[in-house]
Amino acid sequence: MTSAPAKSDIRPGEVTLDPNLVTQGDLTLTVIGHIRSPWSKGNCPKNLREARAQGGGFSIEIDAPYRPGLAGLKAGDAIVVLYWMDVARRDLIVQSPAHRTGPVGTFAVRSPARPNPIAMAVAHLLEIDVTKGVLQIDAIDAFEGTPVLDIKPWLASIDVPSTTAD
């Protein structure tokens, strides 16, 4: 767990949450594995598009008890990877991203700083070794060792939003 950010880390227009809200919790999550990537603080791309452009070796290592859950996945599949950005700030509710003209709510940006630093990436499964629990993927924008919470198949029939509001 990281220490609380210094007040100097707050950009103009940003708003932080009450520290008690940041640490409260009534959920239990299970880490099922970890991301393997070349990224660390200071050299991580901002999104998957940048990660794909930069290239590198990307994989997910699934812990032994969860490997049977990989049955049915195959190379060529698109997968949704949910991961916990364990070094991200959790106290910002309004942010001032450098690429925006002013402050916006945390839920309007894909910044890692959020009350629950859960990230989602849709990656292409290049290779899979179910026995070793290793999934080679085309890209990821997460630090080396980032905890993985879940993997789901990406399905166009379900995951592409409709063009009209229902």
Task: Tell which wins on pLDDT, 166 or 114.
Answer: 114
Residue 144 lies in a domain: yes
What is the DSSP annotation of 25-43?
--------EEEE-S--TTT
Residue 134 lies in a domain: no
Residue 98 lies in a domain: yes
Q: Name the maximum alpha-carbon separation found in the chain.
A: 50
150 contact partners, CB below 8 Å, separation of at least 6:
32, 80, 81, 82
CATH of the domain at 55: 2.40.30.70
Residue 160 lies in a domain: no
pLDDT digits (tens, 9 = 90+) for 56-71: 899 999 999 999 999 9
Residue 149 lies in a domain: yes
Q: What is the pLDDT of residue 28?
A: 84
Residue 99 lies in a domain: yes
**What is the tally of structural domains in the chain?**
1
Q: Residue 83: in which H helix or E strand, if any?
A: strand 78-84
Please give the model's pTM, rounded to 2 decimal places: 0.84
Residue 161 lies in a domain: no
pLDDT band at 23 (very low <50, low <70, confident <90, very high): low
Residue 77 lies in a domain: yes
pLDDT digits (tens, 9 = 90+) for 80-133: 999 999 999 999 999 998 888 889 999 999 989 999 999 999 999 999 999 999
93: containing domain: 12-21+28-60+71-121+140-154
Contact 112, 119 (CB under 8 A): yes
